[in-house]
Amino acid sequence: MYKMMDNSIIKIKLEIWGLLHIDAVDDKSTLLLDKGTTISGLLKSLKVSKVHQSFISAFVNNEEKKQLTVLKDNDIVKLFLPIGGG
């Protein structure tokens, strides 16, 4: 017997790099999200404040993406906080 997949849920792999720390998840996690979730929606679900979201860079499948990018099933999402100095 075949088990039907719920088409309203996607699975992503999340990696958090550098100095960024998000209490809600480990540095490497697999998450189940609603289909249609954006990077911004992911950050909101992880309890990252709107102010802090603007400082976080996101890469999806090794390509830098904007916060309104819709995530897809099996995406690999890498989040980090760029820092600079001089």
Residue-range domains of the chain with CATH: 9-80 (3.10.20.30)
CB atoms within 10 A of CB 71: 24
Quote the pLDDT of residue 5.
Answer: 58
Quote the pLDDT of residue 39.
Answer: 97
pLDDT tens figures, 55-81: 999 999 999 999 999 999 999 999 998
Strand stretches in the chain, DSSP E? 9-17, 28-34, 57-60, 63-65, 76-80
pTM value?
Answer: 0.86
Q: Please tell me the distance from the alpha carbon of residue 58 to that of residue 35, in angstroms, as a whole number.
A: 18
User: Between these two residues, 24 and 9, which has the higher pLDDT value?
Assistant: 9
